[in-house]
Structure formats: C-alpha cells, structure tokens
Structure 1
Amino acid sequence: MEYINKVTDVARNFRETRLSTLKPPQEFFDHHQLSRPKDLNDATARITYNTRHFSGNYLIVILILFVYALLTNYLLIIAVVFLAGGFALINRFAAEPIHIGNLVITQQQLYIGLFVVGLPLLWVASPVSTFFWLVGSSAILIIGHACLMEPGVESEYAGVEGV
C-alpha cells in the first residue's frame, strides 16, 4: 500500500511540475516565429530560453519517440516482457523449491534458466542502439526546434521582477 502512495505522489508531482508547463500546439508549432539565429550567441540564448519555456512539450516529444522506438522493435518488447514476466512469475509461484519426481528445482536455478534464455534475447533486440537512437533523435529535434524558434516578447522581461 505504501508503494502505491509513493507512485501516486510521484505522478502528482510530475503532473504539477512538468505537465503544467505544456504550451499549446499553436505556440509550439508557430511557424511565424521560426528564423535562423544571427550567431552562436543568439543560438545559445534561444536554446537556453526555449528549453525552459517548452520543457513540457519537449518531454512529450521524447515520450512519443520512445513509444515509436518500442513499437518498431518488437523483439525488444518481447525480450523485456519475457524477462519481467519471468521474474514476476518466479517470485510469485516458485518461492519454495519445486519437486518433480526425484528432481528438485530451486528458485536460483529458475533465475539462471530465465537469464540464460532472456539475456541473449535482449542482446539480439539491441536495447543499447535503441537507447542511443532515442537520445540522438530527441537531441536533434529539441535542439533544432529550440535554436530556430525565436523567443517571445516575454523573454525580454524574464529577468525583471514584478513590483
């Protein structure tokens, strides 16, 4: 029960901090604010401002790319489900040694069997290349958008405190 409370607290905190910064699609995809930066300093200033301003939208972009990466790599889904499901099943149903005739199978032997089959399957599914594809494609999209998007007028007053 305590675990469920922690998960709901984390979800509530995530919603309050990250998803509250979501900007409407009209602002995120406003093609009238697209322009090439003048120099590297301008590009750096735009990236700094826009990554804070659109942080919620960029998180959604990363989540969409993550779902796409999983849906296009069926073997990775199968490997993760096999390993996680096997681990859960062994924990739930094989806490005590299993006796089949004269053969005794312990929980440790079941884990070894699961990993002997699951880890090569996971290796073939190439989760590392999927991870680096996700990092690279997210970085290109986010830095490209942040660099090309002109900051709004409110960015000029970001350092000024209200009276």
Structure 2
Amino acid sequence: MSSPAPPSGAAPTPSLLRPWPQFLDLSALSLPISLSEATYRLTQNLRYFLPNYVVITLLIFLVTLVSRPLSLILFLCIFAAWIYLVFLRDEPLTILDYDIDQKIILGLLAVMTLVALLWTKVWLKLLISLIIGAVIVLIHGILRAPEDSMEDSPYGSLLNVVDSPGGEHASV
C-alpha cells in the first residue's frame, strides 16, 4: 500500500537536507539590525536548515574521533543506521510481514547510541563537538538572512518604506 500524496501546496518535509550551495551562499549573509532581528533569523534558519546543522555537528563529532579509529567505525555505523532508519524512509519498516512502529525504532537507536557512548568513553569529545557545532549554528543562523525575511520580519513594513524612496502612499 502506498501513502497518500501530500497536498500540492504542502511545505517540504523538514527531515530533508537543504541544498548545500543554498546553505553556504555568501550573498545571503549580513549583520542583523537588532537583537530581535537576530533571534528571528536564528529561529527561521533553525527551522529551515535543521538537518544541515545536524549533519555539520555530526561531521565535527566524527572528525574528533579520528584519533580513535574503532570508535569512529562504530559511530559511523550507528549514524548510518540513524540516517537510513529515521531520515531516509517514507514507509514503515517491515520485518517478516510485521510493521515496526517508528517509536520503537527511535528507542532502540537511542539506547544503542547511549551504550556506544558509554562503552567507548567519548563523552568529552561529544561535548566539545556539540559546543563547536552550536557555535557554528548560532553564527550561521544569525548572519544568514532568510529568503522570506521581508514578508515575515517584524520590520517588514519598515523595510519596505526604506527600500522604496517614495514609500507606499495611498492616492487621495
């Protein structure tokens, strides 16, 4: 059986990676004009680029494991399982004609990840990589202006007046 098609105007699935050229577009970077604009940009970019931020943070973690090759191989296998079982599948996992609930899969993967962290003793490396990843996410999220920033920005109407020298005037 197939799942019903999403509505034509539906937003893309949030679990999909956004194109890397769009993520790394230097022309979209600018300083925010205020603290509220910075928080707005951060929340919009977190919603839109969350899978990309997760991949970057995981890559940083894997780079910190280069000095421990067995741990690196173990976590590469675990991350491959996470990516395949959670992010790349659209239909339920079926084993011997039995559909496995997504909550069971998430629970097993979480337990497997925690056991691997305890067994390999890489908590400090994980903490350092999470801090570095959070700093990168914070910097990118604040500096990148979302495409829809003019429509949804708290300064949208003010920015429109600034953009057009005559402003928007109603005819009398």
Report the TM-score, using the length of structure 2 for normalisation.
Answer: 0.48
User: Offset at 1:128?
Assistant: 2.7
2:126 to 127, 131, 145: 131
Q: Secondary structure at the match of 1:54?
A: helix
SS at match of 2:30: coil
Q: How does 1:81-96 map to 2 (within 5 A)?
A: none
Partner of residue 39, structure 1:
34
8 Å CA contact retained: 2:61, 2:129: yes
Superposed counterparts of 1:68-147, under 5 Å? 68-74=63-69, 127-147=122-142
**1:18 aligned onto 2:15:** yes
What is the CA deviation profile of residues 74-114 of structure 1, one whole-angstrom value per residue up to 9, with x for unaligned ones? 58569x89xxxxxxxxxxxxxxxxxxxxxxxxxxxxxxxxx
- Tell me the C-alpha RMSD between the 2 structures: 2.9
Say which of 18, 23, 32 aligns to 1:28: 23
Match in the other structure for 1:50: 45
Sequence identity of aligned pairs in percent?
29
Corresponding residue for residue 143 of structure 2: 148
Bigger helix share: 1
Letter in 2 for 1:58: Y
Q: How many residues align?
A: 99
Gaps of at least 5 residues in structure 1 are 1-15, 82-121
The answer to whether the 8 Å contact 1:76/1:126 transfers is: no
Measure how far apart 1:65 and its partner are.
1.0
| Unpaired stretches in structure 2, ≥5 consecutive residues | 1-12, 76-118, 154-172
Looking at structure 2, the residues matched to 77 and 23 of structure 1 have their Cα atoms a distance apart, in angstroms, of 26
